[in-house]
Amino acid sequence: MISGNFRIIILHNHNTAAMLNIPLPLAPEFPAFLLSAGLLVLFILLSELLSGRFGLDATVSRKIVHLGTGVVLFFVPSWFDSNFYPLLLALLFLVLNTLNLSFGWFRSLLSGPGAGEPASQAVRSYGSILLPLAFLLGTLLLWDDHRWILQTAVLASTAGDSLAALVGSAFGRHLIPDLTRNRKSLEGSATMFGVSFAGIALSLLFFQPSFTGGLQGAPLLTLLLLALLLALVSTAVEALLSYGLDNFFIPFATAYVLYLLDGNQAATASGLLGGGLFAFLLAVFSVKVRFLNNSGATATFLLGTTIFGVGGMLWTVPLLTFYLLSSVLSKLGRRRKAKFDLVFEKGSQRDAGQVYANGGIAWILMGVYSLTGNPAVFFAYLGTLAAVQADTWATEIGTMWPNPKAWLVTTLQPVAVGTSGGVSFPGTAGAFIGSLFICLGAVAVGTPWLQEFGLLNSFLLVGFSGLLASLVDSFFGATLQAQYYDPIREKVTERTHSMAPDGSKVENRLLKGYALVNNDLVNTLCALSGSGLAFLVIQNAGLF
């Protein structure tokens, strides 16, 4: 009876697997699964022993697990023909590590302060969850023809990051300001870059026979330069992200670039390398002229590498139109706008949050287009750039204009210029004109899709997408955005804290809105609305 029931279960699973086109687990591969799982458990137990019995530093013990996990996951795709056991392995450790965050069974997997740091500086890390999640997704998407991309991405995420943390904790003396909550040092970042470059370069050279697309036959110099760019991207991602998010986004970024080059050939190595170089020079220039701080420049490098390197001139010129015109405008009339410096949440020198808010939707749209090739996405791209251009120009021109008058967008009651949700005639006119410049940039490089839709139609679509998005921004600014009372200067402000005359920080009192809804989130909603309007119009036009 037991044997019969067992056969029925196997038959049922076989039919289900056939319907879902999922390969059955192979008995010959089961020992390799046990070996993989055993090695991962061994690294965890070893780290627990070193930290518990011998008092090893929390950062060191955690990075031992991280590095050991990376080594095992790098070899796992070579040990299996089917992706069943690799998926099962990733799923098991994803569940285990998620439970461990709540119950704390293995302290070596949890975040803690770095060497020499007080416990109060510890930042909760989700890296132990995000790394198996990244491996799980990569195994699902890349297994059949591009598992070498998965292996290279895992290597980029683990080796450099682990050694960078160890070197930074032990020898990091030169801290890099204005990056993220985690301390980042020049010594740690240099280690991250060097180790990542060596690992990615060796991986590309080793897996060269596995290339099936655009990287086939690539010369040695091209592969080394590509490894250099990917190492720089990995270092930038690691420098910007806290909470262990780099454990997901480093392998994601590496896999995305390599898939574009070798998988769907949406980009060329020369184009990507040229775009990366230009983005790097733009980031350095932006810091020198104080358009951006360190985090903003690092984010701009990442965004620019994707858009410049994959999109070419058609996508680059509209983005540069926004960036240069808005940055210059933000610097003009500084003396006249000085009285608003303590009202707005941030100054004219943009940080990473502002880069994400203004360019994040455009960045995502570039990624979508690179995978789909849908021209309607380009119009959405122009719409989101028009939205952030309109918002910037409305604010800058509205506050620079002599003796301006402003009204709250929801009630049309007069308000002080600079108030969240306030609109003025000069600012609204500036929003529309600024949007037109975005379309002009696309026309200047001869974008063929604009000709198909009609130049006048394109200007009107992009112009009104930006204008309406700026009004959306004002609406959310008036209703949802947090506004605080500054007790030091007795004014309403977007800032959560103020500086007292003695240099101490004073927490401002929330007057209206929601604390989670800051200016960056409102700008993101503005950018999203501009892209959505342009995309819907083009889709309904049925041209593409």
369 within a domain of the structure (yes/no): yes
Question: What integer pLDDT is reported at residue 22 of this predicted model?
Answer: 46
Give the per-residue pLDDT at 4: 38
Task: Tell me the CA end-to-end span of the chain in Å, nearest whole number.
Answer: 62
- Please tell me the predicted confidence (pLDDT) of residue 93: 93
Buried b (16+ CB within 10 A) or exposed e, 315-346: bbbbbbbbbebbbebbeeeeeebeebebbbbb
Report the 3 state secondary structure along 6-25. Answer: HHHHHHHHHHHHHHHCCCCC
**DSSP structure class, residue 176:** P
Residue 112: inside a domain: no
The DSSP string of 17-85 is: HHHHT-PPPPGGGHHHHHHHHHHHHHHHHHHHHHHHHS---HHHHHHHHHHHHHHHHHHHHHH-SSSHH
* 185 assigned to some structural domain: no
* Residue 492 dihedral angles phi and psi, to the nearest 5°: -85, 135
Can you read off the two tokens belonging to residue 354? 């502002």
Residue 512 lies in a domain: no
CA–CA distance, 477 with 495 (Å, rounded to integer): 14
Pick the closest to residue 298 from 353, 366, 228, 367 (CA basis). 353
Q: Which helix (H) or strand (E) holds 506?
A: strand 505-507
Residue 538 domain flag: yes
Question: How would you list the strands of the sheet with 422-423, edge to edge?
Answer: 414-415, 406-408, 422-423
Phi, psi of 494 (to 5 degrees): -90, -5
Is 326 within the bounds of a domain? Answer: yes
Structural domain count of the chain: 1
Q: Specify the pLDDT at position 377.
A: 97
Contacts of 87 (CB under 8 A, 6+ apart): 136, 139, 140
Does a structural domain hold residue 441? yes
Nearest to 158 by CA among 70, 59, 58: 70
pLDDT, residue 24, reads 52
| pLDDT tens for the chain, residues 1 to 544 | 333 333 333 334 444 444 334 445 567 899 999 999 999 999 888 888 877 776 677 667 778 888 889 999 999 999 999 999 999 999 999 999 899 888 878 776 776 544 333 334 445 678 889 999 999 999 999 998 899 999 999 998 898 888 888 788 778 788 888 777 677 888 989 999 999 999 999 999 999 999 988 899 999 999 999 999 999 999 999 999 888 899 999 999 999 999 999 988 889 999 999 999 999 999 999 999 888 999 999 999 999 999 999 999 999 999 999 999 988 887 775 555 555 544 444 555 788 999 999 999 999 999 999 999 999 999 999 999 999 999 999 988 887 877 778 888 888 888 877 777 888 898 999 999 999 999 999 999 999 999 999 999 999 999 999 999 999 999 998 899 988 888 887 777 778 877 777 777 888 888 888 989 998 999 999 999 999 999 999 999 988 8
Kindly state the tokens that stand for 235: 């270092």
Task: Specify the pLDDT at position 331.
Answer: 74
- Residue 105 inside a domain? The answer is no
* Helix ranges (DSSP H) in 259-333: 269-288, 294-306, 312-331
Domain membership of residue 354 as a residue range: 313-481+517-544
Three-state DSSP state, 212? coil
Q: pTM for this structure?
A: 0.86
User: What's the full length of the chain, in residues?
Assistant: 544
Instruction: Judge contact between 266 and 219, C-beta under 8 A.
Output: no
